[in-house]
Amino acid sequence: MRILATQYTLATKSLDIYVAGCKGDRNGRHCPGCHNPESWDFDQGRPYDLVSATEIWPHFIEFGQLIQNAMIFGGEPLDQDESDLIKMLIDISGFGVQIWLFTRHELNEVPASVKEFCATIRRCSLTTTFSAASNSHRPISASTLKASTISNYLHHGGTHEIPLD
């Protein structure tokens, strides 16, 4: 697994980790309006082990009091080798932060071994939102979102949140 970039986001008190590579769906189609099509190539970035030692762990060690969340973006995290992804999730969970995973997959397609480490999974979508409580889909517009989440919603191409309890 390769890491494209890491960054700290003050608004979400998160360390954002971008993995390289997205296969698209079974027909090779990528999410419409993908916020990061440059990340689709699996050969970009640096190997996770190198990045973890030089970028990820030092962020948590030096700025741990400021980091409450780790957000895993892509590419597509679930297109990575599952054992490599699990290794990264285990490493990150050791810092006591909430892990958020952003994916194109439905919740039932996310492996249980991945779910156990994630506080929240967000599925990419431009026109619908999924309510885990009501198990229903409904159209969403920027006016239905809190002002504080509009820019995040637009930046990430529209997502819906599936909290895991």
| Structural domain count of the chain | 1
Instruction: Determine the structural domain holding residue 37 and report its residue range.
Output: 2-163
Q: In this predicted model, what pLDDT tens digit does every residue of 54-84 receive, in sequence order?
A: 888 888 888 878 999 999 998 999 999 999 9
Angle ∠(20,69,22) on CA atoms, nearest 5:
15
- Provide the β-strand partners of residue 18: 5, 73
Q: What is the pTM of this model?
A: 0.74
Q: Is the per-residue pLDDT at 2 higher than 90?
A: yes
Q: For residue 55, which phi and psi values (nearest 5 degrees)?
A: -125, -50
More confident residue, 88 or 36: 88
The CA distance from 124 to 23, in Å, is: 15
The pLDDT-based confidence of 139 (bands split at 50, 70, 90) is: very low
Summarize the confidence of residues 51-56 as an average pLDDT. Answer: 81
